[in-house]
Structure 1
C-alpha cells in the first residue's frame, strides 16, 4: 500500500504542478507529499519531477512514468470498485455547484439523493468560481453554460432559458420594452456573474443580437437581481430557475420572449476515468433522472 501512496502522491503533484495543491487535494501535509514523491524517485533511481521555487514540471522519464502510473491506479480502483459495487455505492462524494442554482434547485435534489443513498456522504461547496476538479479534489461539479474544459466528461442534465423580466409597477411607470433596442432606455439590474454583465445577448430571426444596457444596481448573483426587479428597480436578465417563483406569483413579468437567445444547459462534469466510481455514477444518473423532461422552472409562467 505504501507504493500506491507514493504513486498517488506523484500523480497529484503532476496534475496540480504544485506540492501544496496536491497536499490539499490528498488532505495531507506538503511535507508528507514531498516525502512520498522523494521515496518513489529514490526507489526508482530516477528523477520524475523538476522542482523550482515557482513551478513543478515533469521530466521526460516522469512523463512516461505518469501514463503507466495512472493505469496502475485505475486498475486498482477497478479492483476495489468491483467489490464495493456488490454492496452498492458508498463513500464521500465531493461536489461543487453554482450558488444560485444550488439555492434554487439543487438542494432539494441533494436531500432526495441523500435519502436514497444512505451510504454516500456529501460534501457540497457552493461557489460561482470555476473550480479545478482534479487539483482541488472534487468528484463532480454541476455547471451552467458553455463548457471550456475538454479534459472533463460532461453529461447534459437540463436546459435553461435566460429570462428578461421586470415588476408590473416598474413597467407601469416606464412602459414595456417591445424590441431589444428599447432596453437602452431602461434601468437594468445587472448580474455581474455573467462574462460581460452589461452586454445582453438575444436572438432576432434566428441570429444572435446584442444590446448594451446600463444600471446603477449590480449584484453577483441572480437571486439578488430578481429581488431588486421585484422591488421595482428595473429590468433584469437571469436564468429561469432563479426567476420562476416570482414569475408564477406575478411579482415580475417576462419580457421580450420572442427575442430570447438559445437556451443554456446544466451539466454534470467529472474527470475522465476508465472505471467511474459507483458513487459518481449513482449521483450523475440520479440527477439525469431528476431533471429529465421539461424543467419545472420553465413551467407555470410562460
Structure 2
C-alpha cells in the first residue's frame, strides 16, 4: 500500500505541477507528498521530477514512468471497484450543492437516500461557489445552469424555470407588469448569484430578450429575494423551486409567464472514472429517479 501511496502522490504532483496543489487534492500535507515522492525516487534510483522555486516538471524518466504509473493505479482502482460492486454502495460520499436548492429541495432527498443506503455516510457542503471536485475531494456535485468544466461527467436531472414574482400587496400598489417594457419600470429585488444580476433574460417568440432592472435590495441568494418579495418590496426573479411554496399559497404571484426564457437544468456532475464508485452511481441514479418527470416545483401555481 505504501508503494501505491507513493505512485498516487507522484501522479498528483505531475498533474498539478505543484506539491501544494497535489497535497490539497489528496487531502494531506505538502511535506507528506514531498516525502512520498522522494521515497519513490530513492527506491527507483532515478529522478522523476525537476523542482524549482516556481515550477515542477517531469524529467524524461518521469514522463515515461507516469504513463505506466497511471495504468498501475487504474488497475488497482478497478480491482477495488470490482470488490466494492459486490459489497454494494458504502463509504463516505462527499457532495457539493447550491445553497438555495440544497435547503429547499435537496435536503429531503438526501435524507431519503441516507435511509435507503445505511452503509453510505454523507458529507454535504452547501455553497454557491463553483468548487473544483478533483482538487477539493468531492465525489459529486449538484449544479444548476451552464456547466463550465467539460472534464466532468454530467447527468441531466430536471428542468428549472426562472419565474418573476411579487406579492399581491406590491402589485395592488404598483400594478402588475404585463410587458417587458413595463417590468423595467418596477422596483426589482436582485439576486447577485449570477454573472450580470441586473440583467433579466426572458423569451419572446423563441428569441431571448433582456431587460435591465434596478432596485435598492440586492441579496446573494434566492431565498432572501423571495422573502423580500413576500414582504412587498418589489419584483424578484428566482428559480421556481425557491418561490414555489409561496406561489402555491398565494403569498406571491407569478408574472410574465408568457415570456418564459429557455429552461435551465439541474445536473449531477462527477469526475471521469473508468469504474464509477457504487456509492456515486447509487446517488446519481437515486436523484435521476426522484426528479424524473415534471418537477414538483413547477406544479400548482401556473
| Same topology, TM > 0.5 | yes
- Structure 1 position 58, deviation (Å): 4.2
- Structure 1 position 84, deviation (Å): 1.9
Q: Which whole-Å CA distance do the structure 2 matches of 1:55 and 1:170 have between them?
A: 59
90-99 or 48-57, which moves further after superposition?
48-57
- 1:15–1:134 Cα contact (<8 Å) kept: no
Distance 1:13 1:189, change over 3 A: same
> Are 2:146 and 1:157 equivalent residues in the alignment?
no
The corresponding residue for 1:185 is: 185
The corresponding residue for 1:229 is: 229
Question: Could you state the TM-score of these two structures normalised by the residue count of structure 2?
Answer: 0.95
- 1:74–1:275 Cα contact (<8 Å) kept: no
- Structure 1 position 41, deviation (Å): 2.8
- Structure 1 position 30, deviation (Å): 1.5
Distance 1:160 1:61, change over 3 A: farther
- Structure 1 position 57, deviation (Å): 4.2
Deviations 1:273-293 (A, max 9, x none): 111111111111111111111
The corresponding residue for 2:292 is: 292
Aligned residues: CA RMSD: 1.5
Q: Which whole-Å CA distance do the structure 2 matches of 1:87 and 1:59 have between them?
A: 41
- 1:16–1:135 Cα contact (<8 Å) kept: no
Q: Which whole-Å CA distance do the structure 2 matches of 1:136 and 1:130 have between them?
A: 11
The corresponding residue for 1:112 is: 112
Counterpart secondary structure, 2:184: helix
The corresponding residue for 2:166 is: 166
The corresponding residue for 1:140 is: 140
Q: Which whole-Å CA distance do the structure 2 matches of 1:256 and 1:290 have between them?
A: 29
Q: Gaps (5+ residues) in structure 1?
A: none
Counterpart secondary structure, 1:110: helix
Q: Which whole-Å CA distance do the structure 1 matches of 2:54 and 2:231 have between them?
A: 50
Q: Which whole-Å CA distance do the structure 2 matches of 1:289 and 1:298 have between them?
A: 17
- 1:161–1:264 Cα contact (<8 Å) kept: yes
- Structure 1 position 230, deviation (Å): 0.3
Q: Which whole-Å CA distance do the structure 2 matches of 1:124 and 1:236 have between them?
A: 28
The corresponding residue for 1:72 is: 72
Distance 1:246 1:16, change over 3 A: farther
The corresponding residue for 2:250 is: 250
Q: Which whole-Å CA distance do the structure 2 matches of 1:61 and 1:159 have between them?
A: 49
The corresponding residue for 2:35 is: 35
The corresponding residue for 1:279 is: 279
193-202 or 67-76, which moves further after superposition?
67-76
> Are 2:231 and 1:269 equivalent residues in the alignment?
no
Q: Which whole-Å CA distance do the structure 2 matches of 1:57 and 1:255 have between them?
A: 57
Counterpart secondary structure, 1:185: coil
- 2:26–2:135 Cα contact (<8 Å) kept: no
Distance 1:255 1:64, change over 3 A: farther
Q: Which whole-Å CA distance do the structure 2 matches of 1:224 and 1:82 have between them?
A: 46
Distance 1:3 1:121, change over 3 A: same
Question: Could you state the TM-score of these two structures normalised by the residue count of structure 1?
Answer: 0.95
- 1:5–1:36 Cα contact (<8 Å) kept: yes
Q: Which whole-Å CA distance do the structure 2 matches of 1:202 and 1:231 have between them?
A: 24
Counterpart secondary structure, 2:196: coil
- Structure 1 position 55, deviation (Å): 4.1
